[in-house]
Structures are given as structure tokens and as C-alpha cells.
Structure 1
Amino acid sequence: MEKQEEDLSVSVLWLQVWGLAGLQGAIALTWLIYSVYLPKLLEESYFPAPVSSALLVVGNGLAVVLEPLMGGLSDRDKQQFGSRFPLIAAGIVLASTLFIAIPTVVVFGKGVGEFRWVSIVVSVAWTLAMIIFHSPAISLLRNYAPLEGLVLANSLLVLVAGLLTAFRPVAHNLVLNLDTIFAFAIGSFSLLGAAAILRYVNLPETLARANLTVRAAIEHKSTDNPPLKSALSLIFLSGMAIAWGTQFLTVTLSKMLMLRLEINNVDWLMVGVGIMLALAAPPTADWTLRLDNRRAICIGAIATAILLQIAVFIPSWLTLILAILGLLVTFNLVLNGAIPFVLMLVAPHQAGIGVGMYFGGIAGAESLSGLLLPPEQSVIPSVGAIGGAIAFLCLAACVRVSGRWRI
């Protein structure tokens, strides 16, 4: 088994995966800055507070449709022109420009009457620009590793994104201490820089090797694949389940730490938990190789659901600590395997639409959460634990249904 893992690690194009992880980190950073600053910027433009929440819901709603569409367009470009980079490059340049334009419009448009509505238009346009390249970029992972090595490669993306999103609980204070234009400039240039690095490591000779990897995968791929509609439906539902499960898991752990410590603010503790989760991603990927990805996701999802119940319904410091330690493994089995599961369900030339449907499911869940679910602050631990369990069990069911086809 160790020899097999070593062979898989060697076959992964790690330089390209690191480049893609850098872009993933830049995407996470810009969304973090945007979500923190949006309420403040809209307030400066004299919009009521609910408008910022409405904009996030609208953005997620657009992503439900446009993520699969952009992924599908990148699949077409890949077949016609041999590369997804034209669409990715266009989206990143547009998103970087619009991102720095958001605070600029607000700062220079103060007190100019109806000009304040331009800030809304620019914000929505930036969201659309981010959607243009998101799915096409992440689907590049399919070129950088054989099917069996996708979990190893994806664990690096989970690590980088996890380290950045771990700071979400304290991001409000950290980011707002920066000058507005400076903060948005950091996000804008991080996108451009990450894109330039990713393009640099995808020189013609490395792309040729990546294409050989894909062709080899096609030659060895079983012909017993799920119909595209069935695959996309399972992918969409899996994305929704992971999004809801993650939301409930986060709020449940936060509330349980508050109860155990008898304090109202555990933001930095949650940052620590998030960092530990991120750092545990690469080691957990090795375990997935021993289990098989679909089996690992099912085990991880069911175990995560059980650990949530233990943390809440057997209340003690011991059970809470054991549950958190267990989640470092079980939740990462889910996160590490999610994108590889998507890429295994669809053919290599349909990777873009597959990844787009997954992100569309996540966006759909977040959009519905903003409309239907109560605010996170009002969710009690028992409701969070049960809601999370339902979501993770639904994920396990989707993965189990996919077992009808050999992948």
C-alpha cells in the first residue's frame, strides 16, 4: 500500500496543484474581504442593512445557474481549443478590476445622489465575474492527477482554503482594521498574481503531460458510467448536503464551546478548530486511499453525523473534545473526497460542468439558508446537531446511490 501511495504521489503534477491551490486561496481571500466589507460599504452608500444580505442571496442564486453554465462552456473550449485558460483568464481579469472598483465607487460616489446605485451594480457584476472562472479553474484538477490520486491533490486545495476560511469568525475585526482601498487591492492583486503563477506553471510541456494523464484515464475508465443527468443530479444534491452539513457543524461546535466555557465569544477558539481541520486534510488523504474514495466519504459522513450527536446529547468536556478530535478525521474524509467524487462521476471532457454543478449545489444551499433558515446566532445546539446529521446522511445516501455504477 505504501508503494502504491508513493507511485500515486509521483504521478501527481504537484507544481500545478500548488498553483491551483494558490488560486483557490485567492478566491477564498477575496470572498472573505467582500463579505466583511459589504455591509459597511452599503451603509456608507445609505442603503439599509438587509441589502447586504439580499445581495449575498442574489449572488448565490445566480451561481446556481451560472456555475454549471460556465463549467460547460469551459468544457467546450477545452474540446475546441485545447485549453480552459481563455475563459479563466478573462474571468480573473474582469473580477480583479471590478473588485477594486467596488470600494472606489463607494468612496468617490458619496453624496452624488442616485450614483450610489452603481455600487450595487458593480457588486453584482463582480459576483458574476467570479463565477465565470471558478468552476473552469477547479476542474483543472482533473488534468493534474490520475483518478486514484485526485484525493491527494485535492487535499492541498482543502488545506489552503481551510486555513483562510478558518479566520472567518475574527475576520470582521482583522480586515476592518485595514484601509478599505488597501484591503480590496490585496484581494485584487492576489487574484491576478495567483492566475499568473498558475498560467506560468502550465507551460506547453506541462500541459502536454497533463493531456497524457487525461488520455490515459480515458483509456482505462470503465464504460459503465452514470448517465450525465443522473450524475449531475447526484453531484448537485451532494453539494447542497455538504454546504448545509458544514453550516450546521460550525454553529453546533461554536454553541457547545460557549456552553462548556460559559462565555459568549469563542471566535478565536473556532479559529483554532478551523486551523486544525485544515492541517489534518493532507494526512487524512492517505487514509482515503486505503478505503476507496466513495467508501471513505460514506464513512466520514455517517461518522460526522454520529459525532455531532455525541457532542450535543452527551454533554461533557470529554465527549466534546473527543468529538472535535474525531471530526478532524471524519469531516476531512468528506472534504478531501468531494471534488474527486465529482470528477469520478463524469467523463474527463465533462469535468467543468460536473464541478459547476457541485458549486451550484453549494450556492443553492447557501441561498436557501439565507431565505429559510434562522440566523446562526439563534440556532440551538440540538437543532444544529440534528440538522447536520440529516445533511451528512443525505450526502452518504447520494454517494451510496452512485455505487450502482462502476467508477
Structure 2
Amino acid sequence: MSIAPSPNPASNQIRWLQVWSLASVQGAISLTWIAYAVYLPKFIEQVFAYPTSQAQQFAGLLLVIESAIAVIIEPLFGGLSDRWQRWYSSRMPLIVAGVIGSTALFIALPAVVVFGGSNEIVRLILPSLAVLWAIVMATFRSPVICLLASFAGATQLPLAGSVLTLVGGFVGSIRPLATSFILGLGAPATFVIASFTLLAGVAGLRSAMIYIPKNLNPALENAEPFKIRDFLNNLAIVMLVGGAIGLGMRLLMGDVLPRTLKADLTGLTGLSFEVLMGSALITQALLAVGTGNISKFIDNKRLMIFSLGGIAAGLGLLAGGYGAIASLIVILLILGFLSAVNNGMVAFALTMVPKALGGLTVGTFFGGLSGAIAIFGYLVPKSSEMLSTPNAILLTAIAFLLAGVGIALGERITRKVSFE
């Protein structure tokens, strides 16, 4: 199958206003999840009268369930947004509806805890409401993120994606650096701030979309819909890569990096683990700018394969235990490679299928990512206790190498096909 590229030269330009608006929405989504993850154990502890350790276990179980449900919800609503795009020339109604629904449910979470007290009804409502909120959140993430394809041409997608990585890294650093501050605000204030941030982000994105020409992709709107079954192999590879990257990032950021920071760098620097972890996330975000510019000169799939191999090699060096200074240098290299992977993963998904299936392929990628995290969370609920550091490093390296193999397969089957 060969699909001719768009003749419109404007399609390969980056629309920075829209990209930054999209990044603000992604940052707001991350902020709501941070607030949720910080307060969910507190809510469970208060409502169920559980000790802290048991409340954290219950919260972890809910997160696993939510990730498992996202495996279905993400591709389903991503594909549904493709239909909306084809029928109504916009995904925004679906996105706005999902954001409004999730905001209402999000604010209801602390309200139920504060006003409901501790009784059997609230104990039934709280976990149900939490899972329902996570489901609604999953309905609009893929439709939002796939808009990146409308804001940049295929060769510019990783550079545009670096803005999402930059914003996501800075927002992600809030959790290790400002958990105490978030708890000090109190649940009602935190949840209201996060909700209005999300609403404001989507409102800004909707306003920015006005400036995109309606006839930017006239051929796409007039084309016959593509048959999903023709791209099942492509979507399977996207899910494989998403799952492998998801597992690798979970292990790297949840086990390998924290253990290395605590073992080697807290003593060397005299800084707390929280400061070091937050600094690592900020560093990775800043490095995204440089790796995004590199992507202008190297094909994204090849850059990702090289970066995934670089992460695996760096992990091998960490396993060698060459000392604190060596660990610091290796961590910086790994973070640089990881930023390139983060920049390019959505671009990889979007270039595996035609634009008309952009929501489906992004949903499939995130579905694979969520599925891997859910399976790992179910099989290894206490990774810090169940996995030794060498085993954690080995599994992380295998996951990233598997992602590299998947991208190489994707490169092979799309080499002679243009979906632009």
C-alpha cells in the first residue's frame, strides 16, 4: 500500500502555539494524576480506617485496576475520536465532554470523603468513584495527544514532542519535590486547583485550534476511511512498543533510578532523595530540547532505536558498580537517551498508520503502556522487596531492548509507505 504525501508545504511546519497549548493540557493531566496519587491513600486511610501500609496497598491495587481498564478504553476512544474527526472535522467535542466529566468526578472525590465520613456507603462509593474517574480520564488522553499530528509534519513530530516532554518533566518533578506542599494545601484546594488547571488548558487548546486552517488536510477529510484490519500488524507493533517502553520506564523510574540515587548519590551530594529525584526529572525535561533538535537530522525511529540501546548499555554500566561519580555520569547519559525516547514515542505511533487512524494508534500505544504497568503491578506488587537491584536492572534493559526490536520491525514494514 502506498499513500502519497500531502503536497501542502505548510503541513511540515510546527505550529508552536498549538503545540504549547497541547503541552499545557498534558501537564494539567499529569498534575491531576499527581494529586490523585498523593491523596488516594489518605482518602482510603480515612474512610476505611486502614493503617498507612494497608491503605497504600489498596491504593496500589486500584491503580492496577485502572491501568488494566485503560488497555481497552484508550484505543476505543482514540478510534472513536477518529470517527468524530471524519464526521465533524473535529475531536474537540469528545475531548471537552471528557474533561468536563472527569473534572466533576475529580472534585467529587474529596467531597465524598469530607462530607460522607466513614461508613459502609462511602466505602463503596469511594473506590467506585475513583475507578470511574480514571476511566473518564482515559477517554480523552488519546484524542488530545493525537492532535500533535495536526500541529507538525511527520519529520517534525519529535521536535514538537520535545515540548510535551519538557512540560511533562517539570510537572512530574512536583511529586518528589512538593508532596509536603500538596498535602499542606489540603485535598479540597488541591483538587480544585488541578481541576481548573485542566479546564483552563483545554479551553486554551480549543482557542488555539481556531487558528489552524480548515483546509490544512483537505485530502484527508475527503478520503475514504481506512480499514483497520489492513493495519493490524502495525497496531500490534505499536502496542508491543508501548508495553515495552511502559515497563521499562516503570522499572527505571520506580526502581533502578531511586535505588541508585539512594545508594550512590545521596552520600556524594549531601542532598535528599526527593531533591535528587526531582532534579533528575527536571534534567530529563531540559535534555529533551537538545534531543528534539537532534531529531531534525536523524530519522525518529532510528534515533529511538539508538537511544533505547543507549539506555540498555547505560544500565549495564550501572550494574557494574563503578562508583558514585561514574553512576552520576551514566545517569545523565541515560536521562538524555530517555528524553529522546519520550520525544519520539508519540511520533512513532503516529507514523505507523495513516493520519485518519491517529487516535486509534495513539490509544493503542497508551493501552500497551498501561497494560504493561498493570500486569507488572499485579505480578510484582512490591517490586522494591521482590526484585533485587541486579534483576531490576536486567528486566529494565530487556524491556527497552524489546522496544527497540519492535521499532525496528515498525521501520521495516513502513519503510516504503508514506502516511503523511
Q: Compared with structure 1, are the counterparts of its residues 387 and 13 closer, same or farther at alpha carbon in structure 2 (3 Å cutoff)?
A: same
**3-state SS of paired residue (1:387):** helix
Residue aligning to 1:255: 259
User: Which residue of the other structure, out of 325, 332, 340, is the alignment partner of 1:325?
Assistant: 332
C-alpha displacement of 1:174: 2.9
Q: Compared with structure 1, are the counterparts of its residues 170 and 375 closer, same or farther at alpha carbon in structure 2 (3 Å cutoff)?
A: farther
C-alpha displacement of 1:312: 2.3
Partners of 1:93 and 1:262 in 2: CA distance? 43
Partners of 1:21 and 1:240 in 2: CA distance? 23
User: Where do residues 143-222 of structure 1 align in structure 2 (5 Å cutoff)?
Assistant: 143-203=150-210, 205-208=211-214, 210-211=216-217, 215=220
Partners of 1:108 and 1:162 in 2: CA distance? 35
The reply to whether residue 245 of structure 1 matches residue 248 of structure 2 is yes
**3-state SS of paired residue (1:206):** coil
Residue aligning to 1:3: none
Letter in 1 for 2:29: I
Cα root mean square deviation, aligned: 2.3
C-alpha displacement of 1:53: 1.6
Partners of 1:151 and 1:35 in 2: CA distance? 29
C-alpha displacement of 1:9: 11
Give yes or no for contact 1:135–1:359 (8 Å, CA) kept in 2: yes
Letter in 2 for 1:161: G
Q: Compared with structure 1, are the counterparts of its residues 314 and 227 closer, same or farther at alpha carbon in structure 2 (3 Å cutoff)?
A: farther
Partners of 1:211 and 1:314 in 2: CA distance? 53
Residue aligning to 2:47: 45
What's the TM-score, normalizing by structure 2? Answer: 0.88
List per-residue Cα deviations over 1:339-366 (Å, max 9, x = no partner). Answer: 0000000100000000000110111011
C-alpha displacement of 1:159: 0.8
C-alpha displacement of 1:328: 3.1
User: Which residue of the other structure, out of 26, 29, 53, is the alignment partner of 2:28?
Assistant: 26
The reply to whether residue 292 of structure 1 matches residue 294 of structure 2 is no
**3-state SS of paired residue (2:200):** helix
Q: Compared with structure 1, are the counterparts of its residues 356 and 368 closer, same or farther at alpha carbon in structure 2 (3 Å cutoff)?
A: same
C-alpha displacement of 1:47: 5.8
Give yes or no for contact 1:109–1:116 (8 Å, CA) kept in 2: no
List per-residue Cα deviations over 1:344-389 (Å, max 9, x = no partner). Answer: 0010000000000011011101111211125243343212211111
Q: Compared with structure 1, are the counterparts of its residues 110 and 226 closer, same or farther at alpha carbon in structure 2 (3 Å cutoff)?
A: closer
Partners of 1:201 and 1:28 in 2: CA distance? 21
C-alpha displacement of 1:276: 0.3
User: Which residue of the other structure, out of 283, 287, 294, is the alignment partner of 1:280?
Assistant: 287
Q: Compared with structure 1, are the counterparts of its residues 262 and 19 closer, same or farther at alpha carbon in structure 2 (3 Å cutoff)?
A: closer
Give yes or no for contact 1:70–1:132 (8 Å, CA) kept in 2: yes
Letter in 1 for 2:403: L
Say which is worse superposed, 255-264 or 329-338, in terms of deviation: 255-264
**3-state SS of paired residue (1:346):** coil
List per-residue Cα deviations over 1:218-248 (Å, max 9, x = no partner). Answer: 9xxxx9x994111111111111111111122
Partners of 2:11 and 2:149 in 1: CA distance? 15
Give yes or no for contact 1:226–1:345 (8 Å, CA) kept in 2: no
C-alpha displacement of 1:197: 0.4
List per-residue Cα deviations over 1:261-313 (Å, max 9, x = no partner). Answer: 47695121111111000111021111122221111010000010000110221
Give yes or no for contact 2:12–2:153 (8 Å, CA) kept in 1: no
Give yes or no for contact 1:249–1:308 (8 Å, CA) kept in 2: no
Give yes or no for contact 1:93–1:192 (8 Å, CA) kept in 2: yes
Residue aligning to 1:371: 378
Identity %: 35
**3-state SS of paired residue (1:153):** helix
User: Which residue of the other structure, out of 388, 411, 414, is the alignment partner of 1:403?
Assistant: 411
Partners of 1:230 and 1:329 in 2: CA distance? 30
Q: Compared with structure 1, are the counterparts of its residues 318 and 109 closer, same or farther at alpha carbon in structure 2 (3 Å cutoff)?
A: same
Partners of 2:213 and 2:27 in 1: CA distance? 22
User: Which residue of the other structure, out of 233, 237, 249, is the alignment partner of 1:234?
Assistant: 237
Give yes or no for contact 1:169–1:271 (8 Å, CA) kept in 2: yes
Q: Compared with structure 1, are the counterparts of its residues 256 and 112 closer, same or farther at alpha carbon in structure 2 (3 Å cutoff)?
A: closer
Q: Compared with structure 1, are the counterparts of its residues 342 and 47 closer, same or farther at alpha carbon in structure 2 (3 Å cutoff)?
A: farther
Give yes or no for contact 1:110–1:116 (8 Å, CA) kept in 2: no
Give yes or no for contact 1:231–1:346 (8 Å, CA) kept in 2: yes
List per-residue Cα deviations over 1:121-149 (Å, max 9, x = no partner). Answer: 22122111101111101111111111111
Give yes or no for contact 1:8–1:148 (8 Å, CA) kept in 2: no
Give yes or no for contact 1:242–1:392 (8 Å, CA) kept in 2: yes
Partners of 1:288 and 1:152 in 2: CA distance? 6
Q: Compared with structure 1, are the counterparts of its residues 209 and 144 closer, same or farther at alpha carbon in structure 2 (3 Å cutoff)?
A: farther
Give yes or no for contact 2:12–2:156 (8 Å, CA) kept in 1: no
User: Which residue of the other structure, out of 75, 79, 85, is the alignment partner of 1:72?
Assistant: 79
Give yes or no for contact 1:9–1:149 (8 Å, CA) kept in 2: no
Partners of 2:177 and 2:238 in 1: CA distance? 32
The reply to whether residue 101 of structure 1 matches residue 108 of structure 2 is yes
User: Which residue of the other structure, out of 60, 64, 67, is the alignment partner of 1:57?
Assistant: 64
Residue aligning to 2:141: 134
Residue aligning to 1:4: none
Give yes or no for contact 2:11–2:153 (8 Å, CA) kept in 1: no
Letter in 1 for 2:259: K
The reply to whether residue 84 of structure 1 matches residue 91 of structure 2 is yes
Say which is worse superposed, 327-336 or 21-30, in terms of deviation: 327-336
